[in-house]
Structure 1
Amino acid sequence: MASKQLRGEPLVARILEATLEEVARAGYKNLSIEAVAERAGVNKTTIYRRWPTPEALVLAAFESVSDKGSPPNTGSLRGDLLDYLRRYRAVCRQPVMLSLMRMLFAGGGKGKLARLIKEMTERSDCDALVMFERAVARGELPKDTDLPLVRDLVLGSAQNLILFRHDTCTDETLERVIDVMLLGAAQGGRRK
């Protein structure tokens, strides 16, 4: 096998990458440890020694690619959102993100895996909310703005374009979405 010389972190990284590729190809329910081993160029016993179940393997793979960075802070909400959405668009063009999206659309798995996906989504929502809270503090949005609603509208609209109209989702398109949504947020989008 090609990976016999790999050990430690490089070997783990190769196995986790192969896992994500297999989830993207076959889906979580059809994941085969044998297929992951073949793709990674290792024996399946190498995988089972570290991850005793397919769930544990997929959990480790998704944890390895979860975004643990902080939200952008460019000094303006528009700049933060544009940076945030550019990074999101770049991630969505990778096979890893295709794996995650396939899992989310298929129900997100069960047990620890479902909890991980929920935690990743909640962390992303909280990180994004920080950008909007800073905008209120800078006076870019009214203090009584319904921030979760505005966040969901801005990011949801952009996410739809990024995921389903990715061929036409240019920086200019993202800027227009941000501008339209922020104009509406500045004029309304307030809590009652």
Structure 2
Amino acid sequence: MASKQQRGEPLVAKILEATLEEVARVGYENLSIEAVAERAAVNKTTIYRRWETPEALVLAAFARVSDQDSFPNTGSLRGDLLDYLRRYRAVCRSPVVLSLMRMLFAGSGGTGELCKVIQERIERSECNALVMFERAVARGELPKDTDMPLVRDLLLGSARNLILFRHDTCTDETLERVVDVMLLGAAEGGRRKKSARR
């Protein structure tokens, strides 16, 4: 049972942490609110008052650990991308998040609403990630006519594939190589456009 003093944010954090631990132990499909309540040492009605279903509980837990809405501003696109990808990799080292993300990207289905919410968060994050490339164009790091959505998709897609499916070998050095190769290609594409116009 939760102590009377344990309310608000500390209680929510404890329950969501217990949720992630249970998903890691038994998988999403076998998660029960009763088991989460036991692990968190709270009454199950405490959980039901906030989250009516296991799915809602997992969604809240996922949102808590996968928040990528803030983007770094290191002064260079290379620095911004490396900082972002390192934080993304750190989040994905959670067994639960890694499992959910692999489920989504592998197209294995899973529960519809959960996949939908995860996909929406990823799409919103990718849309917001354009700010890093917009700043780079303004600083002159990328040509003004850079196809920013394409460069973003190629770069982040390649890095995320390594993080999710080759995470054991996805070192800082690997991320640096990916970023450098993609940025070199983006710059080269800009030079070719200029040459073609001459």
Structure 2 length as normaliser, TM-score? 0.82
Q: Which deviates the most, 26-35 or 70-79?
A: 26-35
Partner of 1:71: 71
Shift of the 59–170 alpha-carbon distance from structure 1 to 2, 3 Å rule, reads closer
Distance 2:60 2:148 in 1: 33
Partner of 1:26: 26
Partner of 1:120: 121
State whether structure 2 residue 168 is matched by structure 1 residue 167.
yes
Cα shift at 1:68: 5.2
> Unpaired runs of 5+ in structure 1?
none
Cα shift at 1:118: 2.5
Distance 2:103 2:18 in 1: 16
State whether structure 2 residue 145 is matched by structure 1 residue 151.
no
Native 8 Å contact 1:24 1:98 kept in 2: no
Distance 1:108 1:128 in 2: 26
SS in 1 for 2:18: helix
Cα shift at 1:108: 5.3
Partner of 1:97: 97
SS in 1 for 2:158: helix
Alignment partner of 1:107 out of 106, 109, 122: 109
State whether structure 2 residue 141 is matched by structure 1 residue 135.
no
Distance 1:11 1:102 in 2: 29
Report Cα offsets for 1:46-83 as digits up to 9, x if no partner. 21222222222223222333415421111111111111
Native 8 Å contact 2:68 2:125 kept in 1: no
Larger relative CO (CA 8 A, sep 6+): 1 or 2? 1
Identity fraction in percent? 81
Amino acid at match of 2:131: V
What number of residue pairs does the alignment pair up? 189
Distance 2:42 2:96 in 1: 20
Cα shift at 1:153: 1.2
Partner of 1:187: 188
Shift of the 91–66 alpha-carbon distance from structure 1 to 2, 3 Å rule, reads closer
Amino acid at match of 1:175: E
Cα shift at 1:126: 1.5
Amino acid at match of 1:179: D
Distance 1:72 1:108 in 2: 32
Native 8 Å contact 1:28 1:103 kept in 2: no
Native 8 Å contact 2:85 2:159 kept in 1: yes
SS in 1 for 2:59: helix
Task: Please give the root-mean-square deviation of Cα atoms over the aligned residues, in Å.
Answer: 2.4
Structure 1 length as normaliser, TM-score? 0.84
Native 8 Å contact 2:69 2:125 kept in 1: no
> Unpaired runs of 5+ in structure 2?
194-198
Shift of the 84–165 alpha-carbon distance from structure 1 to 2, 3 Å rule, reads same
